[in-house]
Each structure stands twice: as C-alpha cells, then as structure tokens.
Amino acid sequence: GDPNNTDFEKELCRYVLDICKYYYTRNFDSTLIPPDFYNIVKEIIDTSDIEFLLDIVDSLNKLDNRIRFDGNPKYVVESEIIILCR
C-alpha cells in the first residue's frame, strides 16, 4: 500500500487525540501540539463537541485496522476522511 496515506491517517489521529487530551486536561504539556497551533486548538475546543472529536479518533483507529490488510489503501483513507468531514 501507499505508506503516505497510512502516515497521514496516523498523524491525523494523533492530532485529534492530542486535541482530546487538551480538552480534558486544559494543558498542552501532555500533547505534541506545537505552540503555533494553541489558539487553533482552543478554538476547536470552543466550537466542537467532545463526543464528535472522540468519534473521529474512533473512526481513525478503525480505519487503521482496515488499511493494514488493503493492497491499495488510498481509496479507503480518502473515503473515510470525506465521510468524517460531513
């Protein structure tokens, strides 16, 4: 498969997971979020439901399991990302 799609999906999952960590701790020290993104993350927290963010993490984790065994995960990754954007 295309390692770039897998890497993108994993990085996206880590980023959303870090946003969830910040939501619960209100502390960026436990995250890998760069300081340049602190205001963006705060805005995401202020305008998003934590259940929605947790659903994204869950979907991305399931996606990771699906693409492991797919010979061409590009379409699986793209379709899941589009579904998450609705």
Coil vs helix vs strand at 53? helix
Kindly state the average pLDDT of the residues 16-25: 95
Look at residues 65, 63, 55 and name the one whose alpha carbon lies nearest to residue 20: 55
The rounded distance, in Å, linking the Cα atoms of 26 and 5 is 30
> What Rg, from alpha-carbon coordinates, does the chain have?
14
Residue 49 — left, alpha, or beta (φ > 0 → left; ψ -120 to 50 → alpha)? Answer: beta
The pTM is what? 0.78
Q: Which residue has the higher pLDDT, 56 or 36?
A: 36
